[in-house]
Structure 1
Amino acid sequence: MKVSVHDLTEGCRIAQDIMGLTANPIIKKGTELSSIHFEALRAFNIQHVEVYSKLADGSKVEAEPVREEAGSIVVAAEEPPLKKQYMELISYYNGVFNAWQSGGKLDIVALKSRLMPLLRQVAKHKDVIYQLHRWSEAKSYIAHHSVSTAIISYLLAEKAGYDQGGCIQLAVAGILTDTGMAKMPLSILKKSGPLTQEEAIEIRKHPLYSYQYIMDSPLLKNEMKAAILQHHERLDGSGYPKGSRGKDISRSSQVLALADVFHAMTSERLYRAKKSPFRALEIIWEDELGKFDIALLKALQEIVGGLATGTRVILSDDRTAEVIFTQPQHLLRPMIKAEGSEDIIDLTKERKLYIEQVIS
C-alpha cells in the first residue's frame, strides 16, 4: 500500500524500489526501514512510498494509505514553478550562509534536501540555462552563484556523460564551492569595486575554507571534496590555491571550474556588468583556452548553443530575431532573421553582433 513518508515507522518494509534522480534505487524493495532510511527519503524529497501491510515483526502497519483519485494515483504534491523553487533556495541559502558567518555548522543533508526538488525541475526544463543570469542579483551574489553553479554543474555533468548519481554529487558539490566565503571579512564581501592585491590574496583562500567545511562529511565522495578544493585551479597552472596543472586536476574539478566561471561571467556583480551566456562562452574560448577541458567546453557550448529553428532571441543591438539555421561548427552564432526584415544575418560574419537572450 502507498503511504506518506511522514507516517512511516521503523520496521516498515518497502514493497517497491524507491528511485531518486539515480540510475539505481536509493532504497531497494524488501528493505526494512530504519532512521537512516528516513534521512535518505528526506534528502531526496520523496513524498510517498509503497510498503507491505505488515511490519518486519509481523504486526500490522497502522499508517493511513494514500487515497487514489479517479483515473490517477496521487504520488506527490505538484511541484511549484522552477523559478519559485529557485528563489526559495536562494532565500534558504542566504539564511544558512549568515549562520555560517556566525560560526554555525554546515548541514549538507538539509541543503541537499532543498536542492533535490529543484534538480528534478531542472532535469525537465534544461532551458533554465538561459534564465539563471537574469535571475541573479548582485546583492545576493554568493547565494545565486552557489545555486546556479549547482544547476550548471548538473547539466554539464549530464551532457558530459556522468550517470545520475555523479550528476547529483556534482550539483551538491557545486552548491558547496563557496561555503568558505563565510569566513571572508564583510569589508571584502560587500566591496563595490575591484579588490586590492591583499584582498585578492584573502579571497583565494576560500576554496581551502570550503574544503574544511566538508572534509569530514561522509555524504560526499572524496572525489567531490577534492573538486571543491580545486574548483579555481586551471589546467595551465594559473589557478589557485595550489597552482595545480594538467592531470593533477580531476575532471570533476573541471566541471565545477567551468560551471563556476561561466555563471560568474554572466552575472551582475557589484563592480561588473553581466555578459550574455553566448558572449561569455565566446570569451572563454578566445581568452581562456588552455585553462579548461576542451571536451567540457564543447559540452557547455552544446547546452547553450544549438538553438532549434524558429527559436526567438534578442540580439545585442536589442532587435528581436528568429533562428533560421545553426551550423554544427558554429553553435553560438546561428543564421537569423530579424523581425520586420526578410534579410538573413549570418552571425559568424557579423562578429560585433551576438545573441543576448533566448526568449522562452
Structure 2
Amino acid sequence: MIALDIYKEVNELIPGSFLKEDLYANTRNPIMVKDTKLMLEHFEVLHSFGITRVLVESKALSKIEQGPTEKITEVKLTPEVEKQMTQNAPTKSRSLETLYDEAVESYRKEFISYRSGKKLDVAAVRTIVLPVIQAFLENKDYVRRLNEFSTLQNYRAHHSISVGILAALISEAMGYPRGQVLQIGIAGVLADSGMAKIDEKIIDKVAFLTSEELSEVKKHVIHSFQMVNDSSLVRQEMKVAILQHHERFDGSGYPRGLKGQEITEISQILSVADVYHAMASERPYRQKESSFKVIELMREEEFGKFDMKVIEVLHELINKLSIGTKVKLTTDEIAEVIYLHRDFPLRPIVKVLDTGTHTDLSSNRRISIVKIF
C-alpha cells in the first residue's frame, strides 16, 4: 500500500483515495472537505465543477501492484452499471430498475427529513442521484420504460428522481456539456423539494383543491428556491430554473407569470420534464396516460405554454418513430409504421399486422399508439 500526498489527474484517480485539502470551485464554502474518501460519485462532482487535478493520499494499490490491465483511466459508470453493461438486455433492465428503486427510497428518506426541519443537503442528494442519472445517460433507450418504474406509492420521490433523469437526458440531447447536464439533473430532482413545506393533507388530497389550497401548493417553488439558495453546490442558473419551473410561455404559470424569453431555457427543460412525468404517471384521481398521448397533449392542447424545441427533443428521446417500427395501438392491435406525417409525427399511417388493414392515425383520432416495440 502507498500513502503519499500527490497531485493526480481526476481521470487517473482510483476509488479509495483520500482528499488531502479542502476543494473550492469559485465558492465560499468547500465543495469537498479534506480527508474525504473519494468514490465514483465524487468523481462526477469533480467533473461537473471542471476540476481536473486534486491533492490525494492514495490508500489504493499502486499501478505496479495493480498490474497493467487494472489502471482506471476514466470513470463514467457505477460498478452496478458497468456490470450490467456486459449482461443481456433483460438483466440490464432489471439492474437499472434496481438502481432507480434505490435512489427513490434514499431520496424519500431525505424528503421526510426536510419535513422535520432538516436542512437540505445537496451533497447527500448528489450521492443519491448521480449514479442513476449517469446510468440513464449511458443507456438512453431505457428512458422509454422510466414511467413503468414509477408507482402510486411514494409518488413524490418517484417524481423527483424521474424529473432529474428526464431533465438530464433532454439537456444532453440539446448539446449541454456533461457537467451542466448533471447540474440540470440535480436541479430537476430538487425542483419539488419545497413540497416538504406544504401541509401533507393538501398534497395528498385526492379531491380537487380549493383555491386557497392551490395557492398554498404554488408556494412550493419559492420554498424549493429558498432551500437551495445558500448552497454553493448549486449554480445560480439552476436556482433560477428551480424557481421558474412552473412558469409558462403564455404567462399562465407561477410564481411571477413570466412570458416567453423571460423564462430561461433550463427552466423550460425542468418544466417539460416535470409535466411529462406527472401526466404519464398514475395518480389517485386519474389513470396514467401513455407517453404518446402525453406528448401529443403537450404539443397540441397545451400549445403555447412550452418551448416546442424542448418538446421535440423529448419526443425524439422517448417516441421517435421510423418506417418499419412495430407499435401497439389503443385497440391492443400490433401494427407497423408505413408512413410518417411531417406535421403529426406521433400519428403515422400504420398497417395492422393481423389484418393487413391500413389506418391513418392523423385522421382517426380514436386510435393512438401506446407503446413502441
Structure-1 residue corresponding to 2:260 = 246
Corresponding position: 1:233 with 2:235: no
Give the letter for the 1:13 counterpart: Y
- Once residues 112 and 169 of structure 2 are traced to their aligned partners in structure 1, the CA distance between those partners, rounded to angstroms, is 28
- Once residues 292 and 88 of structure 1 are traced to their aligned partners in structure 2, the CA distance between those partners, rounded to angstroms, is 32
Distance 1:330 1:179, change over 3 A: same
Corresponding position: 1:44 with 2:41: yes
Q: Tell me by how many angstroms 1:130 deviates.
A: 1.8
| Match of residue 95, structure 1, among 106, 109, 112 | 109
Distance 1:324 1:217, change over 3 A: same
- Identify the range of structure 1 (251-260 vs 112-121) with the bigger mean alpha-carbon deviation: 112-121
- Contact persistence 1:42–1:113 (CA under 8 A): no
Provide the TM-score with structure 1 as the length reference. Answer: 0.82
Once the two structures are superposed, residues 64-113 of structure 1 have per-residue CA deviations (whole angstroms, 9 ceiling, x without a partner) of 34776897767773426211111111101111111111111211111112
- Once residues 71 and 267 of structure 1 are traced to their aligned partners in structure 2, the CA distance between those partners, rounded to angstroms, is 45
Structure-1 residue corresponding to 2:49 = none
Structure-2 residue corresponding to 1:179 = 193
Structure-2 residue corresponding to 1:347 = 361
- Contact persistence 1:43–1:112 (CA under 8 A): no
- Once residues 152 and 56 of structure 1 are traced to their aligned partners in structure 2, the CA distance between those partners, rounded to angstroms, is 34
Secondary structure of 1:203's match?
A: helix
Corresponding position: 1:34 with 2:34: no
Structure 1 runs (4+) deviating above 4 angstroms are: 7-10, 37-43, 66-76
Secondary structure of 2:327's match?
A: strand
Corresponding position: 1:11 with 2:8: no
Corresponding position: 1:77 with 2:74: no
Distance 1:39 1:63, change over 3 A: closer
Structure-2 residue corresponding to 1:264 = 278
Q: Tell me by how many angstroms 1:314 deviates.
A: 2.1
Q: Tell me by how many angstroms 1:162 deviates.
A: 1.4
Q: CA RMSD of the aligned region, Å?
A: 3.1
- Contact persistence 1:314–1:357 (CA under 8 A): yes
Corresponding position: 1:201 with 2:222: no
Secondary structure of 1:273's match?
A: coil
- Once residues 43 and 340 of structure 1 are traced to their aligned partners in structure 2, the CA distance between those partners, rounded to angstroms, is 50
Structure-1 residue corresponding to 2:161 = 147
Give the letter for the 2:351 counterpart: K
- Once residues 342 and 66 of structure 2 are traced to their aligned partners in structure 1, the CA distance between those partners, rounded to angstroms, is 48
- Once residues 261 and 348 of structure 1 are traced to their aligned partners in structure 2, the CA distance between those partners, rounded to angstroms, is 24
Structure-1 residue corresponding to 2:150 = 136
Give the letter for the 1:44 counterpart: E
Structure-2 residue corresponding to 1:52 = none
Where does structure 1 lack aligned partners over 5 or more consecutive residues?
Answer: 1-6, 20-25, 48-54
**Aligned residue-pair number:** 333
Q: Tell me by how many angstroms 1:204 deviates.
A: 0.4
Q: Tell me by how many angstroms 1:12 deviates.
A: 3.4
Corresponding position: 1:293 with 2:307: yes
Q: Tell me by how many angstroms 1:61 deviates.
A: 5.8
Distance 1:336 1:70, change over 3 A: farther
Secondary structure of 1:166's match?
A: helix
Q: Tell me by how many angstroms 1:213 deviates.
A: 0.5
Distance 1:56 1:203, change over 3 A: closer
Structure-1 residue corresponding to 2:131 = 117
| Match of residue 319, structure 1, among 329, 333, 346 | 333
Give the letter for the 1:187 counterpart: K
- Contact persistence 1:322–1:339 (CA under 8 A): yes
- Once residues 175 and 190 of structure 1 are traced to their aligned partners in structure 2, the CA distance between those partners, rounded to angstroms, is 19
Secondary structure of 1:139's match?
A: coil
Once the two structures are superposed, residues 43-64 of structure 1 have per-residue CA deviations (whole angstroms, 9 ceiling, x without a partner) of 73549xxxxxxx989xx96643
- Contact persistence 1:268–1:274 (CA under 8 A): yes
Secondary structure of 1:44's match?
A: helix
Provide the TM-score with structure 2 as the length reference. Answer: 0.80
- Once residues 284 and 150 of structure 1 are traced to their aligned partners in structure 2, the CA distance between those partners, rounded to angstroms, is 19
Distance 1:292 1:56, change over 3 A: closer
- Identify the range of structure 1 (268-277 vs 32-41) with the bigger mean alpha-carbon deviation: 32-41
Percentage of pairs with the same residue: 36
Where does structure 2 lack aligned partners over 5 or more consecutive residues?
Answer: 24-31, 45-53, 85-94
Give the letter for the 1:205 counterpart: K
Q: Tell me by how many angstroms 1:327 deviates.
A: 4.5
- Contact persistence 2:3–2:59 (CA under 8 A): no
| Match of residue 213, structure 1, among 199, 202, 227 | 227
- Once residues 8 and 42 of structure 1 are traced to their aligned partners in structure 2, the CA distance between those partners, rounded to angstroms, is 18
Q: Tell me by how many angstroms 1:358 deviates.
A: 2.6
Q: Tell me by how many angstroms 1:214 deviates.
A: 0.1
Distance 1:46 1:220, change over 3 A: closer
Q: Tell me by how many angstroms 1:17 deviates.
A: 4.3
- Once residues 356 and 249 of structure 1 are traced to their aligned partners in structure 2, the CA distance between those partners, rounded to angstroms, is 32
